[in-house]
Amino acid sequence: MDSRILKSLVDMAHAPIRNYAIPGLTSWLIAPRSEKGCIRLFTMEREHEEAIVPHSHRFDFQCYVLEGWVTNTIWTPGNEGDLYHSTILHYAGEPGAYTVEDGCSTTFSKKSTRYYTGDRYDMAQDDIHTINFSRGAKVLFFEGPQITDSSLVLQPVVEGYGVVPTFKVQAWMFK
């Protein structure tokens, strides 16, 4: 990408939401939110070590990696893989605010793809994924219109215990 365009995007970034689910990830607004969606810039300040639970979104989206890399892992239900329990999150109007509904347990497999500077990827609202960012990653995020008011998270099921509660919203998130 032309360095002048990247500088313009960074200069346009405003309304940051810091620690967007993980330490060091910031979501910046580029274009205002409307019923048609919005444009965001995600930036990562740290080495990404922390897990993001597998989740879906309330909208379709497309991404363009401006700097660094991301590894996007898609989770697919089927006969292969491990047992996970879905939890339905009903969005309550701001990042990290949800009402929670119990789902069901299903076996999921996963496939990871790494995207580097200049690469693009997209996902549908009902795709389930996890994402990992390199230090210094910058990703332009085109968020489509909201399709549903809920998303799913997957949490592992352990024999003899049950659902392991890996999804949490902590006080340091979404600031």
Reported as a single tens digit per residue, the pLDDT across 38-61 is 999 999 999 988 889 999 999 999
108 or 94, which is more confident: 108
**CATH superfamily of the domain spanning 3-163:** Jelly Rolls (2.60.120.10)
3-state secondary structure of 91: strand
The answer to whether 96 touches 174, Cβ cutoff 8 Å, is yes
Q: How many whole angstroms separate alpha carbon 29 and alpha carbon 155?
A: 30
Question: What is the arithmetic mean of pLDDT over 84-100?
Answer: 87
Contacts (Cβ under 8 Å, ≥6 apart) of 89: 55, 98, 99, 100, 101, 150, 151, 152, 153
Which of 169, 64, 160, 61 lies closest to 115, judged by CA? 64
Count other Cβ atoms within 10 Å, centred on residue 24. 17
Mean pLDDT of all residues belonging to the chain: 92
| Inter-residue contact 62 to 122 (CB < 8 Å) | yes
Highest mean predicted confidence (pLDDT) among 51-55, 61-65, 88-92: 61-65
> Which pLDDT score is estimated for 134?
97
Please determine, for residue 125, whether its predicted confidence score (pLDDT) is greater than 80. Answer: yes
Domain boundaries, the chain: 3-163
Beta strands 150-158 and 162-163, pairing class: antiparallel
* Structure tokens belonging to residue 150: 């809920």
Confidence of residue 168 (pLDDT cuts 50, 70, 90): confident
Yes or no: say if 158 and 164 are a contact pair by the CB < 8 Å rule.
Answer: yes
Q: Which residues lie closer than 8 Å to 51 by C-beta, 6 or more apart?
A: 130, 166
- pLDDT on residue 32: 83
| Euclidean distance between the first and the last CA atom of the chain, given in angstroms as a whole number | 29
Closest by CA position to 65, among listed 143, 153, 155, 139: 139
